[in-house]
Homo-oligomer: A and B are copies of this chain.
Amino acid sequence: MTIIYDKIAIIGVGLIGASIALAARRAGLAASVTGCEIDSAKAGEIEKLGLVDHVTTDAVAAVQDADLVVMAVPVGALGPLAAQIVPAMKPGAVLTDTGSTKRSVLRDVDPHISGDIHWIPSHPLAGTEHSGPAAGFAELFDGRYWLVLPREVPEDEVVRFESFVTGMGSVSERMDADYHDKVLALTSHLPHLIAYTIVGTAVDLESQLKNDVIRFSASGFRDFTRIAASDPVMWRDVFINNDEAVLEMLQRFSEDLSYLQRAIRWGEKDKLETLFSRTREIRRSIIDAGQS
């Protein structure tokens, strides 16, 4: 139990923000944690759940004496938020975010950074389909990667931040924004887009068929509906803000899908079996990598 940041402020106490509060307190990484939610009903819920030491609806007040400020809001809201809070932060404090896109975060937040705070963008590769403060739990980050983008910050501040995320149970890994957005486009953004699409296709079926699709929803579709239950605003912002990489991966995916579509239409069994056998190996690699 070593305190790494005396005072932490978390702006946006949803699934991720609440889990950071719980994981940091579990490991005793901070002397006090303040949570900020502009919506007063949500702020009341956070208070009732006892997730943080202090709750406020005022972001500027929340960050004033914080040693670490975590922006855990949808990526589309980061620019305006940074503009509001950075001037109120104390010199030497660390600012981070948890956004699922990184090029857009640099584009939106960088212009508001002043020389005397340390801006370390980051992204924990963890989440569930649930959202809101009650969905948070202390174990969310255990064994999961937390990607860190160092930027122009003293190395000891980056190392300190990394010890904070590993203290919460994560595995820390540095990455640059371009590469991050490409990797995430395929591992996370495209799968979510596809899940949203196929569940949306079901929504539009005539009603008897739609009811039976729900009733007899087999493995496959059931997994997709879970993914497609994720927070709509967060994901809307992800696609808008990683459009370039998502559209590129989507193009590759569509080509590959057309290839399989053609193989089905022409009854080309060998092509199907060959691909289906190759994809099995990827699963094995992921299990070997301990990320299953």
Task: State the A residues within 8 Å of B (CB).
Answer: 76, 125-129, 145, 147, 173, 179, 182-184, 186-205, 209, 212-230, 232-233, 235-237, 239-240, 243, 246-247, 249-250, 252-254, 256-257, 260-261, 264-265, 267, 269, 272-273, 275-286, 289, 291-292
Contact = CB atoms under 8 A, between A and B. Distances in A.
A220 B275 contact: no
Residue from A127, A190, A201 with most neighbouring chain B CB atoms (10 Å): A201
A235 B279 CA distance: 12
Contact of A186 (B213, B239, B273): B213
Given A239-B264, A243-B264, A227 B216 contact: no
Copies per complex?
Answer: 2
Given A250-B261, A261-B247, A272-B240, A218 B279 contact: no
Given A187-B218, A201-B252, A219-B127, A182 B196 contact: no
Contacts of A129: 283
A116 to B, nearest CB: 33
Contacts of A127: 218-219
Given A191-B198, A198-B194, A239-B264, A205 B221 contact: no
A194 B196 contact: no
A197 B256 contact: yes
A286 B222 contact: yes
Contacts of A291: 214-217, 222
A187 B221 contact: yes
A102 to B, nearest CB: 13
A269 to B, nearest CB: 5
B222 A202 contact: no
A169 B53 CA distance: 49
A272 B236 contact: yes
A128 B129 CA distance: 21
